[in-house]
Amino acid sequence: MGAGHGGTLVARYVPGSSAVHRLEPHLKLVSVLAFAVVVVSTPVHAPWAPVAYGGYLLAVLTAAAVAGVGPGRLARSLVVEVPFVAFAVLLPFVARGPQVEVLGLSVSQTGLAAGGGLLAKATLSILAATVLSATTEPRALLRGLERLRLPQALVQILMFMIRYADVVGGELQRMRVARESRGFRSGGLRGLRVMAATAGALFIRSYERGERVHLAMLSRGYTGRLPTGPAAVVDPRAWAVALTLPLAAAAVLLAGMLSG
């Protein structure tokens, strides 16, 4: 019932044989991180910033098209951006500085630029991360993080989180069905007590499951590190393909700075 058996985390992966799919996971991680660094480095108040954001968007949409990641998949991923949207909308009304009229409302020009820049950077970073998650299986991502020398303990925590997220979710679903079969209806103080008891029971069951898994690992010789196979040799051409996205973004940033 782990993530490797069709769980919700694996559902984010879109199988394919594109050039992006074939890249080693650590190359894609470096590419997305470098792209995000370039995007975040763009000065929001520069007059050429909107053009640069348009160039970044074209680059990441091209990568998505090559990878076969459709517009619907990209659009659904932007749901996580809602807090950034709320903050970006609020900024023009609370920031100080020269005022400008937009749709009949007087807003701060500085806040408008900062809010627009924040929204653009968040959107571009999320789109790049979506291409990464849609073309790389969760376990492959963990191998990539390991190749990038992420602390072993953190990699293992992420691995077990991915593997058992659907197990815990299934347990919660069964508890919900059991409550409703006994006539439970949420609402009021009684409902809060029942939900609190459910959360406590789920925590205890998850903790006990973790203890059993840990004991099973120790009995099989676990010493703090999981066995890994030999690292694959990366073709320099693969690095060239992986770095196409951040290099294109860097070229857009450089062109904007020179024009300014």
Q: What is the pLDDT of residues 149-200, one digit of tens each?
A: 878 777 778 777 777 777 888 888 888 888 778 777 666 666 777 778 888 8
pLDDT band (50, 70, 90) for residue 105: confident
Query: Containing domain of residue 82, as a range?
Result: 16-144+234-259
Number of domains in the chain: 1
115 belongs to a structural domain = yes
- Does 187 map to a domain? no
Q: Return d(Cα 32, Cα 10) in angstroms, integer.
A: 20
- Tens of pLDDT, residue by residue over 210-257, are 888 888 888 888 777 766 656 666 778 888 999 999 999 999 999 999
- The residue with greater pLDDT, 164 or 140, is 140
Q: With contact defined as beta carbons under 8 Å apart, do 126 and 36 qualify?
A: no
Query: For residue 246, which amino acid is it?
Result: P
Residue 90: inside a domain: yes
Structure tokens at 243: 């770095």
| 253 found inside a domain | yes
- Tens-place pLDDT, residues 61-104: 999 999 999 898 898 888 888 887 888 888 877 777 777 777 77
22 in a structural domain: yes
The torsion angles phi and psi of 245, rounded to 5 degrees, stand at -65, -55
Would residue 178 count as lying in a domain?
A: no
**Dist CA 124 CA 118 (whole Å):** 10
In a domain, 241, yes or no: yes
| 120 located within any domain | yes
